[in-house]
Structure 1
């Protein structure tokens, strides 16, 4: 597959599946591009806040803000917890907001033979909550993080207070057709090399990946590209795990989940970018029909796969509304 085709597909298809002040060309989470310089950029602030939990699965990177009842933010691929910087900034006055990095993505340090499949990711999150002495959480999830969230609701319903799902996998659409070429690149070992191109050609990253996952790709700032891509290609082990993460998307990790989700008593709100051609609006309607306690759908006009970064106010508003039910 040609490099440019890959870069488009990653933006259009990664399913696996930012806090602080910003400088020029950085999305502050307030919808401001070109803000005045501040002592720290968003990525620097997020990096400074990063912690690690030593678990049987490895050293799991996470960022935490706020206090009180906990909210767990689950990112998409090839992103990491930085995806939720804007939402966390707004919601940390109401919750203890925790954004971990999944195994095989972001800054978590995982041993070589650890499974990176969705069920292992769900087990890792339960271990993380146990380590942090958190009995129950409100979950906010995106993309492949939505897959793991659905597994948690089914397997550990007592740990989930509420669930806010944004564009993500569903049982009938996992992995989506547009992800399968990416899985094939992981299989042939070319995915990491293609992703590494983002670090040397950020304009290309914006015009391909950015254009397919953001309504306004100019907001995909240089530091954001670096924060997402750098750890994925930082060593031979990390490159191999990046591939393994995507190979674990098949077979469908949500196979057989619908009947179990139909019995869930967790309140669910669905917030969906209607401009996404990977997880189209029908996926949102499917989730609304499936969850008995669905609180309905809010469509974000023109929003694409990772609209959460561009519209953190929407996420905050809908999360607060849902949390009042929990």
Structure 2
């Protein structure tokens, strides 16, 4: 018995735009009856629609009647610093554009991880957001099943959903690199500038695509200086996991490195405690850096060298990227959202505290 032929992909406004030789923004405006276009442009768009048998989906029809007043937000681990502040910034920018940000949050507990093996939980979450009143969807800190589905589908049509989707880990159109790339480059430049060549990395759980991307950013930043990560440790973003990872490594292995780059400030806090338990002086025998720039980072002992990230600005830019895909031109926020804060937890290797 032969298998059923694969279902043909439904044409999108991107396909119509290519067929008509115009931008997708033009097609979107024509569908909504907005703007003034030359008769020949309208004729080409109409002909492309007929040739491709394009039919607007529910969200497109809602846009045409101005009833799509929501932006969907798929969020994992909303309690973490980065995702929560990014969503706050996105919510404010969406409101400025006349949209309500509707959030569906999925905690990455063990039960959900098992469900996500076939993308079932994510598919159901996306289904909640794929409605006529939702113009587009943002995915914050996405996980593997979401990326795998996106990679297999065209830019405008995302598997089970029929509206444009922007994922946080896509290249930043305003700066050309991700937050991790920019931030970890600042960290690597600082440590190498101090003279460190044997550097460990303490990263988050591999369940997070963001954790793997941050690890890749560290390796890439060190590679530009001709260095490699000497030792790589894994936590789960929490202070407790950072402390445990450093404890498990043990003093002999720690003596092989002179600096530890931590994937976030919480794990750095735990690492500082574990190093103190091992009798290793910071920064005299070991330099430690964080990432995020939480307010408490400047009040640790010693105050933590870190990268302060303006996640709110990052969230605003994600909404602006989606608005542009929806054919609603929005100027991208271009302020630098990473700031390196050099503090007392880093020093040249071997320097003793006075």
**TM bucket by the smaller chain?**
0.3 to 0.5
Please report the TM-score for the alignment, with normalisation by the length of structure 2.
0.32
**Which of structures 1 and 2 has the larger relative contact order (alpha carbons within 8 angstroms, sep 6+)?**
1
Query: Which of structures 1 and 2 has the bigger CA Rg?
Result: 2
